[in-house]
Amino acid sequence: MFIIKKRTLLINSTSLAARQWINKCLVPGIIKQRCCYSVLTADSFLRQSFCKMSAENQRNASKKAKHPKETLRHIRTREQRKNVDQHGPATVYVQVVGAGSRDNGPSLYVFSEFNRYLFNCGEGTQRLMQEHKLKAARLDNIFLTRMSWQNVGGLSGMILTLKDTGVPECVLSGPPQLDKYVNAIQVFSGPLEEIKIAVQPYTEPQYSDNTMTVNQVPISAQLKASKRKRSPSPERGSPSNSPRSRSQSRSPQSERWKLEDSEELINDRERESPDRPGGSPRISTRDPSLVVAFVCKLHPKKGNFLVAKAKDLGLPLGTSAIGPIIAALKDGKAVTFEGKEILPGEVCTPADPGPAFIVVECPSEDFIEPVCNNEHLNRYHTGGAEDPASLVVHMTPESILQTDRYKEWMERFGPTTEHLILNEQAHTIHNIRSHKIQTQLNLIHPEIFPAPRNCETKKQAALHVPSVRGECLLKYQLRPKFEWQRDAVPLCDSREFIKEATELPGFLERVEECKQSLATDPTVLSGKADQYPEVVFLGTGSALPMKIRNVSATLLNISPTQSVLLDCGEGTFGQMCRHYGNNIDEVLSNLSAVFISHMHADHHTGLLNLLLQRERALNSQGRPFTPVLLVAPLQIMTWLNQYHGHCQGILSHINFIPVTFLTEGADVPKYKIKTFIQSLLKKLDLEKFQTCVVQHCMNAFACSLTHRSGWKIVFSGDTMPCDALVQLGKDATLLIHEATLEDGMEEEATEKKHSTTSQAIGIGMEMNAEFIMLNHFSQRYAKIPLFNADFNEKVGIAFDHMRIRFGDFGAIPKLIPPLKALFAEEIEEMVGRREKRELRQMKEAILDVLGSGCMNGTQAQPPVSKTAGT
């Protein structure tokens, strides 16, 4: 901490860097007296210091004001290429992002030195691209095969990230409902004025740029009447199309009733303006019978000029005459030099006419015939109007691949066509860094940090064509030569992760000390009996999904058959798959309610996938369908109505309780909502489910769950320190409180309406909480936040996939020493960044004082020596 008064600088800082800077830069002109530094410099010293720091601050400010350098450079280069006669790219490859497994839907990245593309953008796509260094800011176009949440679940987050990165335009190609989707996400994203979203539906002419030409091929199916009555299943060809599930489907009348009922809760202005961003749709435009395939053909590439052969033929290399000769030969024209005719084949490699690749989705049996009979796609079969496709990417479930009709269609492409299969039978681990951290944490406490799990794959169809199953980062190179490349496929070796942790200085020693302490601590041993409630942290990061911490989601298992989810950020279902493995359907079937604290994207955009996958889980478990009780801000219904009306049926999956109706003293006017609240308490065996307004954005809430057995769990959502939360959480058994920022960043925390670690702990102490779990950390603390003096035996730090029970309260603080040993390097880096920040703040404070003195025209006077405290 430092205070500046006139010419006196009072120092009381633990920052070594700050003290070193004082001694190096100010000691020549100061006299040190106890804790006080009195500036005795002449005017020249003041002016020099002021000018130097002013120039530095101006440079720093200019750096902050600029957009990311790389983004601007690639956009500028792209514009320059438009005015130049370009040949096709020399390097092009197709790369798997999401292999289609249940936790990561199918997505494809296409690279050339000129352009980048993405095919489908389901939940978790942005997280994978960030982890594996696939630069989203370079994307020229995002192609979507179908208006399904499995394909567009990560698109809203991707658009917001591109906007924040400074990308001026994002092009979306595919179903015409994409325009409505972009309109709908503005309910929670706000206006997208900083980025232009250009939607190119399949009805528009073909897309072309420096790399390739893309033709959108619409494929329409005649859906069976029984399937029109329900929302499409999240997995193509999944068990939700079984006779049992069809018999339990809800009618269109019930969906309309829910839509109209929710519209009563939306204000009149929104109802009167259905076409405004977020307005409630009056006419449904969703079309589950449409998929869009993409036929992509690379531009031709001229042959390469062979200098050695040209030299042998005596061509005038190194002179001005060689330019026109090379141009003519590369254009395929013969030239005559010194009376001798030289053919292109003598000095140039053959031209590449440009291979084609196809991306096709066949989501269910209804689409088999439309796909197999499509004339545009069949042009690329052997003997068709075009050369056979070099690659066909099939986003197709195993049940479709096993049909004779689809197999026969694949075989007609011929032996030279490679086939890439992306579906749930993919056997690959996508999130390597998360898997690594969880494996290492498991060494500290196997119960609190359970080992990561995966959904097992079933038997794969036998295909009689050249085919490869998708793996994360698997490449197929289209230029300069056709070949599969596995060098980028990440390895997930748990033994190597364990070896790396055990070699860290002091780690094994701290782990052993921790285990011995836990084995002899009576408070730990006494709490082992109660298995429930159980808290599972599925996402403990903030803002956007990152490789180690996913965004906000906490599962509260109240009993073996009762659970509620507190917030549901993007990728929550994928996190559940990685936590529960093959038991995921059982866990989803037990989910009765979801609480959404506020409408920021990192807290609710995983909801739709969760609802769709829950329906599938109930079908697979043979259990009757019941809607989830959704407790959320009223504004979420505007978003859900929009998505339901234009994209995919979803309203039949929820019974909605406006979160304000659970605040203290709230009047509940509608009988239906009263019934939902009674059902909420009964299903979860709760005495109370209460909410309160907190200090974050508009319509942000915290919640408190009081069980009939007496325990009380409080969830803060996102908030600054808040008196209403203290009152709501009085005498809580467990407080789960956000701690977005570290101590010393109170100003930024106030600006962003978040809490620091000490502020969160302070709230817990003030409400007399038995234990406090900190979560929702800024992604700058990817592995672990900074500790401070306020951490005590009542405070713990949440990690993704951490599982705690009340009996673990005594054990959690004892995990801190091995955690510090595991993340010692990261803690040291964060301490270094903190010291640099304190140093920068000190310089800026001195600059303010010196600048103020110069502007006032005051002269530096020898100060009167003072001591601290006078």
Beta strands in 317-408 (DSSP E): 335-337, 340-342, 356-361, 391-395
67: confidence class by pLDDT, cuts 50, 70, 90: very low
- Cβ-contact 146, 367 below 8 angstroms: no
842: confidence class by pLDDT, cuts 50, 70, 90: confident
Residue 810 has pLDDT above 70, yes or no: yes
- 548-604: per-residue pLDDT in tens? 999 999 999 999 999 999 999 999 999 999 999 999 999 999 999 999 999 999 999
For strands 686-693 and 802-805, give the pairing.
unpaired
- 765-799: per-residue pLDDT in tens? 999 999 999 999 999 999 999 988 888 999 999 99
Question: N- to C-terminal Cα distance for the chain?
Answer: 17
At 8 the pLDDT is 36
Instruction: Name residue 755's amino acid.
Output: S
Residue 219 has pLDDT above 70, yes or no: yes
CA angle 292, 105, 239 (to 5 degrees): 90
542: confidence class by pLDDT, cuts 50, 70, 90: very high
Averaged pLDDT for residues 461-483: 96
10: confidence class by pLDDT, cuts 50, 70, 90: very low
In this structure, what DSSP letter does residue 808 have?
Answer: G
User: What is the rounded radius of gyration, in angstroms, for the C-alpha atoms of the chain?
Assistant: 31
CB half-sphere exposure, 753, CA atoms < 13 A:
12
Averaged pLDDT for residues 459-475: 95
Q: What is the mean pLDDT of the chain?
A: 86
Cis omega (within 30 of 0) on the bond before 862?
Answer: no
Residue 849 has pLDDT above 90, yes or no: no
Residue 754 has pLDDT above 90, yes or no: yes
Share above pLDDT 70 across residues of the chain, in percent, rounded to a whole number: 81
Higher pLDDT, 419 or 252: 419
- Cβ-contact 430, 128 below 8 angstroms: yes
Alpha helices in 581-693 (DSSP H): 584-589, 607-621, 636-646, 671-683
At 687 the pLDDT is 98
Residue 116 has pLDDT above 50, yes or no: yes
Residue 232 has pLDDT above 60, yes or no: no
Residue with tokens 């900074």, as numbered in its chain: 786
Higher pLDDT, 839 or 719: 719
Averaged pLDDT for residues 66-73: 50
Residue 724 has pLDDT above 60, yes or no: yes
Averaged pLDDT for residues 806-821: 96
Query: Measured between alpha carbons, how far is 375 from 219 in angstroms, rounded to an integer?
Result: 10
The token pair that represents 394 in the structure block:
């099939």
Query: Measured between alpha carbons, how far is 563 from 534 in angstroms, rounded to an integer?
Result: 9
Query: Measured between alpha carbons, how far is 741 from 746 in angstroms, rounded to an integer?
Result: 8
Residue 172 has pLDDT above 80, yes or no: yes
Averaged pLDDT for residues 280-291: 81
Residue 190 has pLDDT above 60, yes or no: yes
- 646-674: per-residue pLDDT in tens? 999 999 999 999 999 999 999 998 899 99
Share above pLDDT 90 across residues of the chain, in percent, rounded to a whole number: 69
At 843 the pLDDT is 85
- 415-460: per-residue pLDDT in tens? 999 999 999 999 899 999 999 999 999 999 999 999 999 988 888 9
At 688 the pLDDT is 98
- Cβ-contact 426, 414 below 8 angstroms: no
264: confidence class by pLDDT, cuts 50, 70, 90: low
Residues in the chain: 870
Averaged pLDDT for residues 114-124: 97
Residue 407 has pLDDT above 80, yes or no: yes
The token pair that represents 560 in the structure block:
């073996």
248: confidence class by pLDDT, cuts 50, 70, 90: very low
At 231 the pLDDT is 41
Averaged pLDDT for residues 726-733: 98
For strands 591-595 and 628-632, give the pairing.
parallel
332: confidence class by pLDDT, cuts 50, 70, 90: confident
Higher pLDDT, 435 or 330: 435
Q: Is 188 exposed, middle or buried (0-12, 13-18, 19+ CB in 10 A)?
A: buried
The token pair that represents 573 in the structure block:
């279902």
Residue 742 has pLDDT above 80, yes or no: yes
Give the residue from 503, 512, 412, 390 showing the smallest Cα distance to 464.
Answer: 412
How far lies 693's CA from each of 195, 271, 673, 687, 722, in Å?
A: 32, 26, 20, 20, 9
At 28 the pLDDT is 46
56: confidence class by pLDDT, cuts 50, 70, 90: low
The token pair that represents 612 in the structure block:
């769709």
- Cβ-contact 202, 295 below 8 angstroms: no
Residue 43 has pLDDT above 70, yes or no: no
Which segment of 8-17, 467-476, 821-830 scores lowest on mean pLDDT?
Answer: 8-17
Query: Measured between alpha carbons, how far is 260 from 830 in angstroms, rounded to an integer?
Result: 52
- Cβ-contact 715, 597 below 8 angstroms: yes
527: confidence class by pLDDT, cuts 50, 70, 90: low
Averaged pLDDT for residues 510-524: 90
